[in-house]
Homo-oligomer: A and B are copies of this chain.
Amino acid sequence: MHALLLIAHGSRRQASNDEVRDLTQALKQQTDDQFQIVECAFLELAEPSIPDGVSACVEKGAESVTVIPYFLSAGRHVVTDIPEELQKAQDKLPQVKIKTAPYLGSAQGISEILIGLSKQAS
């Protein structure tokens, strides 16, 4: 089984963390064939941590975990902190294959989404 793990920064504000959890639910409903397990994890300020998120996927039977950094820019978190946390997870769980997708802000489709949002301005 293949898992998708959405990694967000985490916030002191629970509503922000819940937005990530809601998005994870939406992803779960949209990725039927490709990923049988869809979870989220947080770099800091919220649970589960990244290693715990990877462990949760493995406990549910994942042989591979595809990580998507839910970040807008390639700052320290994306370049250094998330890879370090993933390495900790990999050291603890050598049997799982961890792959990392490009971070959200690098996606081509962002500008179309922004143009769509501009039409809803009031």
Which residues of A are interface residues toward B (Cβ below 8 A)? 4, 6, 8, 11, 13, 15-16, 19-20, 23, 26-27, 30-31, 34-35, 66-68, 70, 72-76, 99-107, 109-122
- Which of B19, B68, B104, B120 contacts A73, CB < 8 Å? B19
* Chain A, interface SS category: mixed
- Shortest distance in angstroms between A105's beta carbon and chain B's nearest beta carbon? 6
Distance in angstroms between the alpha carbons of A72 and B113 in the assembled complex: 13
Q: Say whether B23 contacts A110, CB under 8 Å.
A: yes
Q: Say whether A117 contacts B102, CB under 8 Å.
A: yes
- Shortest distance in angstroms between A90's beta carbon and chain B's nearest beta carbon? 14
- Shortest distance in angstroms between A29's beta carbon and chain B's nearest beta carbon? 9
- Shortest distance in angstroms between A20's beta carbon and chain B's nearest beta carbon? 8
Which B residues are in CB contact (< 8 Å) with A102? 117, 120
Q: Which residue of B lies closest to A35 (CB)?
A: B118
Q: Say whether A16 contacts B67, CB under 8 Å.
A: no
Q: Say whether B27 contacts A111, CB under 8 Å.
A: yes
